């Protein structure tokens, strides 16, 4: 398969994740969509590591690191959500308006 | 049509349909399951890109770990288990059209990527480990510190406050 098809797949997945981030109110779903966007970026990294102009296995190592960072992000994000839920009894993103003037 | 094309078509269709299901379903638990389907298909895409180790890690971390973590998050926080929408209709339509334009621009620019002939030699997992622990060893160690700090920090954030 050419590089273009992998890049197109990742573009479509990224846009679906972006749609989820911007339209959903439930913060857990926003976290889901962020994970989807990270995965789309990761497909790009790995496909360039095989099919790019200068193929090298270092791209796979970069993808591995990005998976680790995404896992850490998911854990911290969920912890913040649980702490917020304990304070406000909701996960709706537009109810977190304590800083509103 | 060779086997790789067929496999890519099936995997990408299942990934995209899982993602569409995720943004359109109404029950949050079903969304988590659709997201697990997307993660599994992306693991298959990694296999096609001859990144076997990454595919296994994807299944382990995403399909196994993060999906279960998200399910825990849903169970711990959400009572009615529904994503009751939502923002106004105008907002949805505006966002949808903006993202469609963005997608069209992305696809148009992706199609200008030159097709290069290259000689990629498949690497075994051992070779990958050697690369990771020789030329990328500093990033590897920083990563371990990051994971440690993130996990301890998330426990600190999420635990119940005891009265001082």
Residues in B 86-145 with any Cβ partner in A closer than 8 A = 86-87, 91-92, 95-96, 99-100, 102-103, 106-107, 110-111, 113-116, 118-120, 123, 127-128, 131-132, 135-136, 139, 143
What is the ipTM score, two decimals?
Answer: 0.90
pLDDT at A9: 93
Instruction: From B31, B40, B153, select the one nearest A72 (Cα to Cα).
Output: B153
B88 burial type by CB count under 10 A (0-12 exposed, 13-18 middle, 19+ buried): exposed
Q: 């000689």: which residue's tokens?
A: B119
What pLDDT shows up at residue B83? 56
* Nearest CA-CA partner of B15 in A72, A65, A29, A14: A14
The answer on pLDDT for B36 being more than 60 is yes
pLDDT at B86 over 80: no
Which SS3 state, helix, strand or coil, does residue A92 take? strand
* Higher per-residue confidence, B105 vs A95: B105
Residue B91 has what pLDDT? 85
Q: Among A19-28, B38-47, B101-110, B144-153, where is mean pLDDT lowest?
A: A19-28
Pick from A88, A98, A93, A96: nearest CA to A31:
A93
What are the φ and ψ backbone dihedral angles of B156, each rounded to 5 degrees?
-60, -40
At residue A92, φ and ψ (nearest 5 deg) are -70, 130
Full pLDDT tens readout for chain A, 101 residues: 788 899 999 999 999 999 999 988 888 889 889 999 999 999 999 998 888 888 888 889 999 999 999 999 999 998 988 888 888 887 777 777 777 76
The closest alpha carbon to A85, from A29, A28, A34, belongs to: A28
């Amino acid at each position: 398969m050419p590089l273009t098809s992998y890049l197109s797949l990742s573009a479509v997945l990224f846009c679906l994740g972006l749609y989820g981030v911007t339209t959903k109110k439930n913060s857990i779903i926003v976290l889901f969509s962020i994970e989807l966007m990270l995965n789309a970026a990761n497909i790009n990294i790995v496909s360039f590591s095989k099919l790019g102009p200068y193929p090298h296995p270092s791209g796979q190592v970069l993808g591995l690191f990005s998976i680790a960072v995404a896992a850490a992000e998911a854990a911290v994000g969920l912890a913040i959500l649980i702490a917020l839920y304990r304070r406000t009894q909701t996960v709706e993103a537009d109810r977190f308006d304590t800083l509103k003037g | 049509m060779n086997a790789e094309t067929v496999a890519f078509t099936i995997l990408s269709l299942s990934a995209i349909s899982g993602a569409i299901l995720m943004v359109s379903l109404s029950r949050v638990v079903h969304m988590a399951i659709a997201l697990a389907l997307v993660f599994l298909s992306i693991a298959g895409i990694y296999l096609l890109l001859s990144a076997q180790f990454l595919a296994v890690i994807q299944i382990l971390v995403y399909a196994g770990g993060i999906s279960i973590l998200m399910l825990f998050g849903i169970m711990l926080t959400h009572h009615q288990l529904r994503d009751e929408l939502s923002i106004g209709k105008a907002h949805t339509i505006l966002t949808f059209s903006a993202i469609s334009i963005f997608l069209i621009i992305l696809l148009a620019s992706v199609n200008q990527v030159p097709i290069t002939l290259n000689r990629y030699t498949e690497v075994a997992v051992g070779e990958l480990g050697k690369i990771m622990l020789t030329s990328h060893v500093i990033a590897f160690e920083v990563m371990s510190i990051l994971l440690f700090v993130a996990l301890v920090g998330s426990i600190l954030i999420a635990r119940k406050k005891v009265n001082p």
